[in-house]
Amino acid sequence: MTYLTPAPETPAPAFGTWQPIETAPKDGSVFLAFDDDEGHGISMGVVACRWMPEDEDEPEEYPANWIVTEIGGDSELHGCVLTHWMPIPPAPEMK
């Protein structure tokens, strides 16, 4: 089972603070992102995603790209326009 983990503490902003997507981590950590479709179709809204570097063996087939992290695996963000990101909130305290 894959669990989402919060983005790194440093230099991540506090949860609830949207940041420009250009500042999102590209280290493979998962974070929340906002998809603004800019009139090209249906926006996915807020998604959990991460950066995936290009495949060294097949860079044309698998270029570096943002991917959506889903239960059961990842999927590419075709046609999405990510504009902002924020860290995933910490898990709730279990009492």
Give the number of other CB atoms < 10 A from CB of residue 93.
Answer: 5
Rounded to whole angstroms, the Cα distance separating 29 from 4 reads 9
Per-residue pLDDT for the chain (95 aa), expressed as one digit of tens each? 455 555 554 455 666 789 999 999 999 888 998 877 655 555 667 888 888 887 777 767 666 777 877 655 555 655 567 889 999 888 888 88
Rounded to whole angstroms, the Cα distance separating 87 from 32 reads 6
Rg (CA), the chain: 14
Instruction: Please give the pLDDT value at position 89.
Output: 86
Residue 7's alpha-carbon distances to 14, 39, 42, 87, 92, in angstroms, are 11, 29, 27, 5, 16
Instruction: Please give the pLDDT value at position 37.
Output: 64
Instruction: Please give the pLDDT value at position 83.
Output: 86
Instruction: Please give the pLDDT value at position 86.
Output: 92
Instruction: Please give the pLDDT value at position 1.
Output: 44
Rounded to whole angstroms, the Cα distance separating 62 from 92 reads 36
